[in-house]
């Protein structure tokens, strides 16, 4: 089976740095995604890691360790608009197309 864990909610201050962790247990791992979802809206793609290491994209970075089944999303210079839910999703190699298994999401609140 598969299991993805991430904290339910986090709070941080504008201008600070926050790290959102995600641990997973899955068979046939074939990549990990981070999505951002503002309240009442659709998820939007942030990052994709398939190899170990850090991927940096502007204020957002994502890290993966396949041997530890662990990833984190790092948000720097937090802005109020970063208040959203952050979804960790693992792609399994499964027959055709692959399946995305999502964690429950981490609700991030950015305070002034």
Q: Count interface residues toward other proteins (CB under 8 A).
A: 24
Q: Does 65 bind other proteins (CB under 8 A)?
A: no
Q: Which is nearer to other proteins, 91 or 110 (CB)?
A: 91
Q: Does 60 bind other proteins (CB under 8 A)?
A: no
Q: Which is nearer to other proteins, 18 or 22 (CB)?
A: 22
Q: What angle do CA 49, 73, 24 make, to 5 degrees?
A: 65
Q: Does 74 bind other proteins (CB under 8 A)?
A: no
C-alpha–C-alpha distance, residues 54 and 20, integer Å: 14
88: nearest Cα among 45, 50, 38, 32: 32
Q: Are 19 and 28 in contact (CB under 8 A)?
A: no
Q: Does 27 bind other proteins (CB under 8 A)?
A: no
Of 44, 65, 79, 109, which lies in the binding site for other proteins, with binding defined by CB under 8 A?
44
C-alpha–C-alpha distance, residues 24 and 38, integer Å: 23
Residues that bind other proteins (CB under 8 A): 4, 8, 31, 33, 41-45, 48, 87, 89, 91, 95-105
């Amino acid at each position: 089976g598969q299991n993805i864990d991430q904290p339910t909610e986090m709070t941080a201050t504008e201008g600070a740095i926050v790290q959102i962790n995600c641990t997973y247990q899955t068979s046939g791992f074939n990549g990990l995604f981070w999505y951002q979802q503002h309240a009442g809206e659709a998820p939007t793609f942030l990052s994709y890691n398939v190899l170990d290491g850090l991927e940096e994209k502007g204020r957002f970075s994502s890290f993966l360790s396949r041997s530890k089944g662990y990833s984190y999303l790092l948000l720097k210079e937090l802005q109020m608009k970063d208040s959203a839910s952050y979804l960790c999703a693992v792609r399994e190699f499964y027959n055709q197309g692959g399946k995305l298994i999502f964690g429950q999401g981490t609700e991030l609140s950015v305070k002034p």
